[in-house]
Chains A and B, each alone.
Chain A
């Protein structure tokens, strides 16, 4: 029997992680994600796990690295500046091919910024994770249910691909309450022939990212590239809602996509044929789905709560074959459906009625 509970987004995410089997959390307080460590400080010891409030985000991510090196399910969470401090550790996790989950309940920035909902960390999340040629697996929930579900999914992906996975949320998703069905996910694979458990009856193991000998680093980079390509082939998650002959596709992720959903539904009631694409994995980015939808409509509106970040990925996916419009709401402004609707009408007006109805 599945349970259903009314949960706050941050707590749902923490519950999802524990239900998935996570037993190690290391973190440092920062708003607006504090419900996660606060919940886990009681929940983890209760199931035999470990919670440490670290001295900094630098320490947090490296404690995660240590627990991950042992083969255990470990996570941390933070926001904006804290995630910036973790970039070094994320690069080491990716380079050492260690699984871990990192949650970013974003703040607006740059600098200390603000704590209202924004999506300004899209590029930081999707362009690697620190220095070097690496990628994070990035998941973008848009509901409290997905905060719960994607926590488990992040661990599955992290362990299957031995790569750090990030959940990119914001203050809206973290703070709002919604009913959640507690569907416990399957635990990740048991077989970890890389884990540092002590060289008992086997050869010593090494977790490393330093490659100094001629050609070694290239081999390692190409191995990582193969992993990222497999992710692009097999693990893209995207929600597509496009009817034939639609006049405009709106692309949005995370909490912003909830508002776009309402907008699209209202526009359809008015007789406008508007489609919608919501990337759930930001890396791997749903290039094909975006390209196909964009090609059918010819016009794409990207709506983000920032000054324009995912829009670059949409442009790359469309390869110049579609007209791309962007509307951004940076700094903690959450758009209303009316505002986005006005934007849609302006774009459709520009193209003329005939083009809209083709």
Chain B
């Protein structure tokens, strides 16, 4: 009989808890949680990181990452993060915010945090729809996209255009790093990981404000299968939200 030698080739990041995700099948929050945890591990931040969590499907981040966490009122995470970072400059502070949280109700807070060169990192999840509240129009909803509050599709004439957050942030002098990445295939996920590391590096080197926008899927509220959702990111989201590093320190 031959001996079976088991070699571990893949494991969860050390800063992740072993809880089972509550996310819907095909949702990218779990993947993005993992990318954040990998960055926490890479820079050995588990003992000094504080995650500030916006309101939305990502609010339970503290169930999955073994770091100090603070809930924030809807949209105000960059202000809460500002208070934490200023009160304890040695900590590593990131926010985790969806498109409704950051780009609608929280527009003022992230713009001014960037403008103050606040030394924080923002992880911005753009899936073009409100997830937790059940599929309403987000500021990033594409023209023509059907949501529960745009039953005939988003009409720019009355509902406005999707907001391009990364371009907006990159235009501010206080921003050190701004990038938009996608989660729809392994090649892009690898690039997303590198961008996540860079967004963390910016804060570690005290370069100022860093934001990473991740295009991601919400199959439940898109009414698509997980595979169809990946296709939608590639075919519809990326043309509307061009990928790239928009600003790098």
User: Which residues of A pack against B, CB within 8 Å?
Assistant: 24, 26, 50, 52, 54-56, 58-60, 62-70, 72, 74, 88-89, 92, 96, 196-201, 204-210
Contact = CB atoms under 8 A, between A and B. Distances in A.
A125 B67 CA distance: 35
Nearest to A205: B68
Contacts of B82: 26, 52, 59, 63, 66
Contacts of B52: 66
Contact of B47 (A62, A96, A200): A200
B57 interface: no
A199 B46 contact: yes
B87 interface: yes
Given A69-B84, A70-B84, A207 B69 contact: yes
A212 B174 CA distance: 38
Contacts of A62: 72-73, 76, 79-80, 83, 109
A63 B82 CA distance: 6
B86 A92 contact: no
A198 B49 contact: yes
A66 B81 contact: yes
B33 interface: no
A63 B79 contact: yes
Please indicate which of the listed interface residues A55, A65, A198 has the most CB atoms of chain B within 10 Å of its own CB: A198
Contacts of A200: 47-48
A63 B62 CA distance: 20
Contacts of A205: 68-69
Please indicate which of the listed interface residues A67, A72, A209 has the most CB atoms of chain B within 10 Å of its own CB: A67
A152 to B, nearest CB: 19
Interface in B44-69: 46-50, 52, 59, 62, 65-69
B87 A66 contact: yes
B108 interface: yes
B117 interface: no
B247 interface: no
A64 B70 CA distance: 13
Contact of B69 (A70, A201, A206): A206
A58 B109 contact: yes
Given A62-B72, A198-B49, A204-B66, A210 B79 contact: no
Given A89-B73, A196-B68, A199-B66, A58 B108 contact: yes
B88 interface: yes
Given A59-B109, A62-B76, 7 more contacts: A62-B79, A63-B80, A65-B80, A66-B81, A70-B50, A196-B69, A206-B68
